[in-house]
Amino acid sequence: MVDRLLIAGNWKMNLDKAGAIELTNALTKSQSTFKEVDVAVFPPSLWLTEVGDLIGSDNIKLGGQDCHEELEGAHTGDISAKMLKDVGCDYVIVGHSERRTNHFETNETIKKKVLVSIQCNLCPIVCIGETWDERNKGTAISTVSFQLKESIPDELDSHQFIIAYEPVWAIGSGKTPTFNDIEEMHSSIKETILTINPKADKVRILYGGSVKPENAAEIFNLENVGGALVGGASLSATDFSQIISIAGAKN
Ligand code: PEP
C-alpha cells in the first residue's frame, strides 16, 4: 500500500483569473491541515503561473491538465511538458476521458505523453476507465486492462507515474460504482501494472468520479485506493479541504 494519499483537484476549463486566485487563496488558508496528505491542483493552463505563485509552499503542488506528446514544435495551441515544468508543475494529467473523447486521444498518444512527461521530470497521472456500456456488458475490467497495457510504458518505478481509475459514466454525474466494484477494479489494475512494471508495486492508484465529502471516507478505506482525482468538488474550497481532511484522518 502507498504511504500517503494524493488528493488532486482538476479544475478543468472553469474559473476566470479572479476565481482561480480566490479559490487558491481559500485553499492556502486551510493548508496547515494538509500535512498528512499530498495535495495538488490542476488549474487551466493560463492561470498556472498565478496559482503557482500563490501556493508557493510544499503543501500544495501544481499540475497541468494535459501536455503534447512531443517536447516542442509546430503544434498551434498545444502546451508541452517542458513548459509545464518551467512554470512550476510537478504533475500532469494525461488521457483524461474528456481528452480521449473530445480530442480523439488514443492509448498510443497517451503512452507518448507519459514518456515525455517523465523526460521533463513531471509525474503523469494516467486516466483510464470504462464507459457505462462496457460496465453493463461486463467488460469493465478487460477494457481497463487493455488501456493500461497499451498506454503505460514498461520499466517504470512506482514513484514515476500515477494511475487514476475514472469510470467515464461516474465523471460529473453524481454516480459512483459500488465500493466492491471500485475495490475489484483497483486490485485488477494493480495486478496488470505489475505485469507491465514489476518494480511498480507501490504505484498510487487514485479513484476519480463524483468524489465528494459524503463518500470520501468510504472510498479512502478501500484496499489499493491511493487517493482521489476530484473534479467538481475541487472547485469549492470547503468541499476540497474537507476531502483532504478525510484523507488525512485515514493516514
Ligand atoms: C474528473 O473529471 O476527473 C472528475 C473526477 O470529475 P468529477 O469529480 O466532477 O466527477
Cα of 85 vs its chain's centroid, Å: 17
Contact indicator for 241, 213 with CB cutoff of 8 Å? no
Ligand 1 binding pocket includes 211 (Cβ within 6 Å): yes
H or E, element range at 250 = helix 237-250
Ligand 1 centroid, distance to 16 Cα (angstroms): 19
The C-alpha atoms of residue 242 and residue 189 are separated, in whole angstroms, by 27
Answer yes or no: pTM beyond 0.75. Answer: yes
pLDDT in tens, the chain (251 residues): 557 999 999 999 999 999 999 999 999 988 777 778 999 999 999 999 999 999 986 789 999 999 999 999 999 999 999 999 999 999 999 999 999 999 999 999 999 999 999 999 999 999 999 999 999 999 999 999 999 999 999 989 999 999 999 999 999 999 999 999 999 999 999 999 999 999 999 999 999 999 999 999 999 999 999 999 999 999 999 999 999 999 999 86
**Residue 180, phi-psi category: left (phi > 0), alpha (psi -120 to 50), beta (remainder):** alpha
DSSP tally for the chain: helices H, then strands E: 10, 8
166 catalytic, yes or no? yes
- Longest Cα–Cα distance of the chain, Å, equals 47
**Which ligand 1 atom lies nearest to the CA of residue 127?**
3
Would you state the pLDDT for residue 152? Answer: 96
Would you state the pLDDT for residue 122? Answer: 98
* Mutation probe of ligand 1 site: the residue of 10, 126, 128, 175 with most atoms within 8 A of C-beta: 10
Ligand 1 centroid, distance to 110 Cα (angstroms): 19
Would you state the pLDDT for residue 250? Answer: 81
Q: How many CB atoms lie within 10 A of CB 133?
A: 12
Which residue shows C-alpha cell 495551441? 77
Among 96, 98, 183, 186, the one annotated catalytic: 96
Which residue shows C-alpha cell 477494457? 143
Hey, which bits of 96-240 come out as E strands? Answer: 123-128, 162-165, 204-208, 227-230
Would you state the pLDDT for residue 127? Answer: 98
Give, using CA atoms, the residue closest to atom 8 of ligand 1: 231
Contact indicator for 40, 63 with CB cutoff of 8 Å? yes
- The DSSP-derived string for 119-152 is HTT-EEEEEE---HHHHHHT-HHHHHHHHHHHHS
**Residue 129, phi-psi category: left (phi > 0), alpha (psi -120 to 50), beta (remainder):** left
Ligand 1 centroid, distance to 177 Cα (angstroms): 13
H or E, element range at 163 = strand 162-165
**Which ligand 1 atom lies nearest to the CA of residue 10?**
3
According to DSSP, the β-strands at 204-208 and 227-230 are parallel
Among 98, 134, 166, 183, the one annotated catalytic: 166
* Mutation probe of ligand 1 site: the residue of 7, 98, 101, 171 with most atoms within 8 A of C-beta: 171
Ligand 1 centroid, distance to 243 Cα (angstroms): 14
Ligand 1 binding pocket includes 94 (Cβ within 6 Å): no
Give the contacts of 105 (CB within 8 A, at least 6 positions apart): 95, 99
Q: 6-245 domain in CATH 3.40.1280.10?
A: no
